[in-house]
């Protein structure tokens, strides 16, 4: 299993994700030539949905920017396909004309920033940071004195 560690961490910080069906995967591959294999494997092995109780969500497939953004912004993002978001307006996607690198879309500036050369590196780092953040918050709450 390629994503064994990531799946374990995701399930430890929230609910298990829903695995994509064979039909969903086939449709994704038919609709988007060149979709990264590591993204497909993630959808098959780990799934899609809410990660970390609202820290991030992974979509069941890819969507074009015009499904989320206004027409002008969507046109500027034409070479990006979205696979998720952070529930705060930041879109996560692939720059399809830049070797399918993982990018983040800043909702306030409309800028696209490269986050990672591939999905595996991106998701591995992200779930580790989520786990560390939640562990840190739990440790901080353990240090607070009890109220009488």
Each residue of 87-98: pLDDT tens digit?
998 999 999 999
> How many CA atoms lie less than 13 Å away from 52 in the CB half-sphere?
20
101-105: strand order across its sheet: 49-51, 56-63, 80-85, 91-95, 101-105, 112-116
Q: How far apart are CA 113 and CA 76, in angstroms?
A: 13
**What is the CATH number for 64?**
3.40.1580.10
Domain with 32, as residue range(s), is: 4-140
Quote the mean pLDDT of the chain. 91
Given a contact cutoff of 8 angstroms between Cβ atoms, the answer to whether 46 and 3 are in contact is yes
What per-residue confidence (pLDDT) applies to 146?
Answer: 52
For residue 5, name the pLDDT band (cuts at 50, 70, 90): very high
Write down the pLDDT at residue 74.
85
pTM comes to 0.89
- Residue 23 falls within a domain, yes or no? yes
Q: Evaluate whether residue 77 is within a structural domain.
A: yes
- pLDDT value for 142: 54
Tell me if 127 is assigned to some domain: yes
Residue 145: inside a domain: no
Q: Which residues contact residue 65 at a Cβ distance below 8 angstroms, ignoring those fewer than 6 apart?
A: 73, 74, 77, 78, 80, 82, 91, 93, 105
Whether 148 maps to a domain, the answer reads no
- Do the domain assignments include residue 147? no
Number of domains in the chain: 1
Positive or negative torsion for Cα 115, 55, 17, 78: negative
């Amino acid at each position: 299993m390629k994503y064994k560690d990531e799946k374990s961490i995701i399930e430890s910080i929230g609910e298990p994700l829903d695995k994509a069906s064979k039909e969903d995967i086939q449709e994704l591959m038919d609709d988007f030539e060149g979709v990264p294999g590591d993204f497909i494997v993630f959808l098959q092995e780990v799934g899609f949905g809410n990660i970390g109780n609202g820290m991030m969500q992974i979509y069941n497939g890819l969507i074009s920017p015009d499904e989320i953004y206004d027409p002008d912004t969507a046109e500027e993002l034409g070479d990006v396909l979205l696979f998720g978001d952070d529930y705060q307006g930041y879109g996560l996607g692939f720059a399809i004309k830049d070797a399918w690198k993982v990018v983040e879309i800043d909702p306030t500036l409309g800028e696209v920033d490269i986050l990672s050369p591939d999905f595996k590196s991106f998701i591995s780092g992200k779930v580790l940071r989520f786990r560390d953040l939640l562990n840190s918050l739990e440790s901080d709450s353990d240090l607070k004195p009890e109220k009488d």
